Protein backbone atom coordinates (compact mmCIF):
# COMPACT_ATOMS: atom_id res chain seq x y z
CA UNK A 1 0.00 0.00 0.00
CA UNK A 2 1.25 3.53 -0.74
CA UNK A 3 2.46 5.57 2.22
CA UNK A 4 4.20 8.89 2.76
CA UNK A 5 6.35 9.21 5.87
CA UNK A 6 5.72 12.52 7.64
CA UNK A 7 7.67 12.04 10.88
CA UNK A 8 8.54 9.69 13.70
CA UNK A 9 7.25 8.83 17.15
CA UNK A 10 10.23 7.41 19.00
CA UNK A 11 11.65 4.94 16.47
CA UNK A 12 8.41 4.32 14.61
CA UNK A 13 7.57 6.05 11.34
CA UNK A 14 4.41 8.13 11.14
CA UNK A 15 3.03 7.15 7.74
CA UNK A 16 0.14 8.69 5.83
CA UNK A 17 -1.80 6.28 3.64
CA UNK A 18 -2.85 7.74 0.30
CA UNK A 19 -4.43 6.74 -2.99
CA UNK A 20 -3.55 8.38 -6.29
CA UNK A 21 -5.73 7.68 -9.32
CA UNK A 22 -6.26 9.04 -12.81
CA UNK A 23 -4.47 11.78 -14.68
CA UNK A 24 -4.97 15.43 -15.49
CA UNK A 25 -5.19 18.29 -13.01
CA UNK A 26 -4.72 17.01 -9.45
CA UNK A 27 -7.46 17.22 -6.85
CA UNK A 28 -6.78 16.31 -3.22
CA UNK A 29 -9.84 15.20 -1.24
CA UNK A 30 -9.45 15.68 2.53
CA UNK A 31 -11.89 13.73 4.68
CA UNK A 32 -13.82 14.60 7.82
CA UNK A 33 -13.95 13.21 11.35
CA UNK A 34 -14.04 10.31 12.18
CA UNK A 35 -13.78 8.74 8.72
CA UNK A 36 -11.04 8.20 6.13
CA UNK A 37 -10.24 8.96 2.51
CA UNK A 38 -12.57 6.13 1.51
CA UNK A 39 -15.52 8.36 2.47
CA UNK A 40 -15.17 10.14 -0.90
CA UNK A 41 -16.53 7.17 -2.85
CA UNK A 42 -19.46 9.18 -4.24
CA UNK A 43 -17.10 11.84 -5.62
CA UNK A 44 -14.13 9.76 -6.77
CA UNK A 45 -15.63 8.14 -9.91
CA UNK A 46 -17.30 11.38 -10.99
CA UNK A 47 -14.04 13.30 -10.82
CA UNK A 48 -12.07 10.53 -12.52
CA UNK A 49 -14.63 10.33 -15.33
CA UNK A 50 -14.30 14.09 -15.78
CA UNK A 51 -10.58 13.67 -16.43
CA UNK A 52 -9.00 14.67 -13.12
CA UNK A 53 -6.22 13.07 -11.14
CA UNK A 54 -7.72 12.33 -7.72
CA UNK A 55 -5.70 11.90 -4.54
CA UNK A 56 -7.17 10.91 -1.17
CA UNK A 57 -5.32 10.35 2.07
CA UNK A 58 -6.14 9.29 5.61
CA UNK A 59 -5.46 11.87 8.31
CA UNK A 60 -3.01 10.67 10.95
CA UNK A 61 -4.86 8.57 13.52
CA UNK A 62 -7.55 7.51 11.06
CA UNK A 63 -8.10 4.92 8.36
CA UNK A 64 -4.94 3.13 7.27
CA UNK A 65 -2.54 5.84 8.42
CA UNK A 66 -0.33 5.55 11.47
CA UNK A 67 -1.88 6.17 14.87
CA UNK A 68 0.66 8.20 16.84
CA UNK A 69 -0.18 9.79 20.18
CA UNK A 70 0.94 13.27 19.10
CA UNK A 71 0.41 15.77 16.31
CA UNK A 72 -3.35 16.27 16.54
CA UNK A 73 -3.41 19.97 15.74
CA UNK A 74 -3.92 21.91 12.53
CA UNK A 75 -0.32 23.05 12.17
CA UNK A 76 0.69 19.39 12.03
CA UNK A 77 -2.26 18.39 9.84
CA UNK A 78 -1.30 21.13 7.37
CA UNK A 79 2.33 19.99 7.48
CA UNK A 80 1.19 16.43 6.70
CA UNK A 81 -0.75 17.76 3.72
CA UNK A 82 2.34 19.68 2.66
CA UNK A 83 4.32 16.44 2.66
CA UNK A 84 1.71 14.76 0.47
CA UNK A 85 1.87 17.62 -2.05
CA UNK A 86 5.67 17.83 -1.97
CA UNK A 87 6.45 14.13 -2.14
CA UNK A 88 3.97 13.57 -4.97
CA UNK A 89 5.41 16.66 -6.72
CA UNK A 90 1.97 18.13 -7.34
CA UNK A 91 1.31 21.45 -9.03
CA UNK A 92 -1.84 23.36 -9.98
CA UNK A 93 -3.67 21.60 -7.15
CA UNK A 94 -7.30 21.90 -6.14
CA UNK A 95 -7.89 21.21 -2.44
CA UNK A 96 -11.31 19.89 -1.44
CA UNK A 97 -11.98 19.55 2.28
CA UNK A 98 -15.02 18.15 4.04
CA UNK A 99 -15.72 19.11 7.66
CA UNK A 100 -12.36 18.87 9.47
CA UNK A 101 -10.72 18.77 6.04
CA UNK A 102 -11.65 22.40 5.52
CA UNK A 103 -9.42 23.26 8.43
CA UNK A 104 -6.44 21.72 6.65
CA UNK A 105 -7.14 23.92 3.64
CA UNK A 106 -7.41 27.12 5.67
CA UNK A 107 -4.30 26.41 7.73
CA UNK A 108 -2.37 25.31 4.63
CA UNK A 109 -2.97 28.66 2.97
CA UNK A 110 -2.21 30.43 6.24
CA UNK A 111 1.15 28.68 6.63
CA UNK A 112 2.29 28.03 3.08
CA UNK A 113 0.38 30.43 0.83
CA UNK A 114 -1.05 29.63 -2.57
CA UNK A 115 2.04 28.45 -4.46
CA UNK A 116 1.09 25.40 -6.55
CA UNK A 117 -2.58 25.90 -5.60
CA UNK A 118 -5.30 26.29 -8.22
CA UNK A 119 -8.65 26.26 -6.40
CA UNK A 120 -10.17 25.54 -2.99
CA UNK A 121 -13.44 23.90 -1.99
CA UNK A 122 -14.91 23.85 1.53
CA UNK A 123 -17.74 21.33 2.07
CA UNK A 124 -19.58 21.43 5.41
CA UNK A 125 -16.27 22.70 6.75
CA UNK A 126 -15.31 23.90 10.24
CA UNK A 127 -13.79 27.31 9.33
CA UNK A 128 -13.79 30.14 10.05
CA UNK A 129 -14.21 29.83 13.86
CA UNK A 130 -16.79 27.63 15.56
CA UNK A 131 -16.35 28.72 19.16
CA UNK A 132 -18.64 31.44 20.48
CA UNK A 133 -16.58 34.27 22.00
CA UNK A 134 -17.00 37.98 22.61
CA UNK A 135 -15.66 38.77 19.15
CA UNK A 136 -17.33 35.74 17.56
CA UNK A 137 -20.99 35.80 18.66
CA UNK A 138 -22.06 33.66 15.69
CA UNK A 139 -20.15 30.68 17.10
CA UNK A 140 -21.30 27.68 19.11
CA UNK A 141 -21.21 27.69 22.91
CA UNK A 142 -18.11 26.02 24.33
CA UNK A 143 -20.18 23.77 26.57
CA UNK A 144 -21.27 21.83 23.49
CA UNK A 145 -17.69 20.82 22.73
CA UNK A 146 -16.95 20.05 26.37
CA UNK A 147 -19.89 17.65 26.29
CA UNK A 148 -18.51 16.00 23.16
CA UNK A 149 -15.09 15.55 24.76
CA UNK A 150 -16.64 13.95 27.84
CA UNK A 151 -18.74 11.62 25.72
CA UNK A 152 -15.77 10.53 23.59
CA UNK A 153 -13.61 9.98 26.67
CA UNK A 154 -16.31 7.97 28.43
CA UNK A 155 -17.31 5.66 25.55
CA UNK A 156 -16.29 6.69 22.07
CA UNK A 157 -18.15 3.79 20.47
CA UNK A 158 -21.46 4.92 22.00
CA UNK A 159 -20.60 8.49 21.01
CA UNK A 160 -20.08 7.47 17.39
CA UNK A 161 -23.50 5.79 17.34
CA UNK A 162 -25.19 9.04 18.37
CA UNK A 163 -22.88 11.20 16.27
CA UNK A 164 -23.79 9.51 13.01
CA UNK A 165 -27.49 10.11 13.62
CA UNK A 166 -26.83 13.83 13.21
CA UNK A 167 -24.07 13.29 10.67
CA UNK A 168 -26.66 11.91 8.24
CA UNK A 169 -29.87 13.27 9.85
CA UNK A 170 -31.12 9.71 10.02
CA UNK A 171 -34.48 10.77 11.43
CA UNK A 172 -35.19 12.31 8.02
CA UNK A 173 -33.09 10.32 5.56
CA UNK A 174 -32.61 6.78 6.84
CA UNK A 175 -33.96 4.40 4.22
CA UNK A 176 -34.25 7.27 1.74
CA UNK A 177 -30.88 8.95 1.17
CA UNK A 178 -28.77 6.79 3.46
CA UNK A 179 -29.05 3.12 4.45
CA UNK A 180 -28.46 1.37 7.74
CA UNK A 181 -25.54 -0.30 6.01
CA UNK A 182 -23.84 3.02 5.22
CA UNK A 183 -24.25 4.21 8.79
CA UNK A 184 -22.86 0.92 10.07
CA UNK A 185 -19.91 1.09 7.67
CA UNK A 186 -19.16 4.63 8.87
CA UNK A 187 -19.29 3.43 12.48
CA UNK A 188 -16.87 0.64 11.66
CA UNK A 189 -14.36 3.07 10.15
CA UNK A 190 -14.72 5.37 13.16
CA UNK A 191 -14.26 2.49 15.59
CA UNK A 192 -11.00 1.60 13.84
CA UNK A 193 -9.55 5.06 14.42
CA UNK A 194 -7.08 5.82 17.16
CA UNK A 195 -8.64 6.34 20.59
CA UNK A 196 -6.15 9.19 21.07
CA UNK A 197 -7.10 10.83 17.79
CA UNK A 198 -10.83 10.41 18.42
CA UNK A 199 -10.54 12.59 21.51
CA UNK A 200 -7.65 14.87 20.58
CA UNK A 201 -9.30 16.07 17.37
CA UNK A 202 -12.35 17.51 19.15
CA UNK A 203 -10.58 20.66 20.47
CA UNK A 204 -9.16 21.31 17.00
CA UNK A 205 -12.67 22.09 15.78
CA UNK A 206 -12.41 25.29 17.82
CA UNK A 207 -9.35 26.63 16.02
CA UNK A 208 -9.63 30.20 14.76
CA UNK A 209 -9.06 30.19 10.99
CA UNK A 210 -10.17 33.74 10.30
CA UNK A 211 -6.68 35.08 9.59
CA UNK A 212 -5.82 31.96 7.57
CA UNK A 213 -8.80 32.49 5.29
CA UNK A 214 -7.54 35.95 4.39
CA UNK A 215 -4.65 34.26 2.59
CA UNK A 216 -6.91 32.14 0.38
CA UNK A 217 -6.42 33.98 -2.91
CA UNK A 218 -7.53 31.36 -5.42
CA UNK A 219 -11.05 30.71 -6.77
CA UNK A 220 -13.03 29.24 -3.90
CA UNK A 221 -16.28 27.31 -3.58
CA UNK A 222 -18.17 26.78 -0.33
CA UNK A 223 -20.85 24.05 -0.23
CA UNK A 224 -22.94 23.60 2.91
CA UNK A 225 -26.22 21.98 3.89
CA UNK A 226 -28.82 24.25 5.48
CA UNK A 227 -29.80 21.48 7.94
CA UNK A 228 -26.28 20.71 9.12
CA UNK A 229 -26.54 19.77 12.82
CA UNK A 230 -22.81 19.19 13.29
CA UNK A 231 -21.33 22.34 11.72
CA UNK A 232 -24.14 24.88 11.33
CA UNK A 233 -24.32 26.81 8.07
CA UNK A 234 -24.70 30.17 9.83
CA UNK A 235 -21.63 29.58 12.01
CA UNK A 236 -19.42 28.20 9.27
CA UNK A 237 -20.14 28.06 5.54
CA UNK A 238 -21.89 31.40 5.23
CA UNK A 239 -19.10 33.17 7.08
CA UNK A 240 -16.30 31.45 5.18
CA UNK A 241 -17.90 32.55 1.93
CA UNK A 242 -17.88 36.14 3.19
CA UNK A 243 -14.29 36.03 4.43
CA UNK A 244 -12.73 34.60 1.26
CA UNK A 245 -12.73 37.26 -1.43
CA UNK A 246 -14.85 36.24 -4.41
CA UNK A 247 -15.91 32.90 -2.92
CA UNK A 248 -19.06 31.28 -4.24
CA UNK A 249 -21.55 29.78 -1.78
CA UNK A 250 -23.81 26.87 -2.73
CA UNK A 251 -26.40 25.96 -0.09
CA UNK A 252 -27.82 22.44 -0.30
CA UNK A 253 -31.48 22.63 0.70
CA UNK A 254 -32.27 20.10 3.41
CA UNK A 255 -28.66 19.00 3.47
CA UNK A 256 -27.29 17.43 6.67
CA UNK A 257 -23.61 17.43 7.57
CA UNK A 258 -22.59 14.59 5.25
CA UNK A 259 -23.99 16.04 2.04
CA UNK A 260 -21.20 14.27 0.16
CA UNK A 261 -23.29 11.10 0.60
CA UNK A 262 -26.92 12.10 1.13
CA UNK A 263 -26.89 14.82 -1.54
CA UNK A 264 -24.01 13.54 -3.66
CA UNK A 265 -25.60 14.50 -6.99
CA UNK A 266 -26.06 18.12 -5.93
CA UNK A 267 -22.56 18.30 -4.46
CA UNK A 268 -20.96 16.71 -7.50
CA UNK A 269 -22.78 19.02 -9.90
CA UNK A 270 -21.67 22.10 -7.97
CA UNK A 271 -18.13 20.75 -7.73
CA UNK A 272 -17.80 19.94 -11.44
CA UNK A 273 -19.29 23.26 -12.51
CA UNK A 274 -16.78 25.05 -10.32
CA UNK A 275 -13.82 23.02 -11.51
CA UNK A 276 -14.70 23.60 -15.14
CA UNK A 277 -15.43 27.31 -14.65
CA dist list (Å): 271 to 16, 105, 250, 276: 26, 16, 10, 9
Neighbouring residues of 196: CB distance < 8 A, sequence distance ≥ 6? 61, 67, 68, 69, 72
Catalytic residue among 39, 65, 66, 99: 99
Q: What is the dihedral of CA 57, 190, 250, 117, to 10 degrees?
A: -20
Neighbouring residues of 230: CB distance < 8 A, sequence distance ≥ 6? 99, 124, 163, 166, 167, 256, 257
Catalytic residue among 193, 198, 227, 257: 257
99 catalytic? Reply is yes
Q: How many residues does the chain have?
A: 277
257 catalytic? Reply is yes
228 catalytic? Reply is yes
CA distance 218 to 24: 19
Nearest to 128 by CA among 229, 239, 45, 204: 239
Catalytic residue among 15, 80, 227, 228: 228
Starting at the edge strand found earlier in the chain, the sheet holding 26-30 runs: 3-9, 12-21, 53-57, 26-30, 93-98, 117-123, 220-225, 248-252
CA distance 184 to 187: 5
Catalytic positions: 99, 228, 257
Amino acid sequence: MPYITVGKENRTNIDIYYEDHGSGKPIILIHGYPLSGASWEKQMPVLLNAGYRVITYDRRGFGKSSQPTAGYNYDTFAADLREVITQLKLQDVTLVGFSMGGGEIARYFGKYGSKDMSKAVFIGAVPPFLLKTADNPEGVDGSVFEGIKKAVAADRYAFFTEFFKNFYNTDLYLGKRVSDDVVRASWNVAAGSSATASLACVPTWLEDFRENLKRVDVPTLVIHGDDDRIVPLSAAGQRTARLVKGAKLVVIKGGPHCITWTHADEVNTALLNFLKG
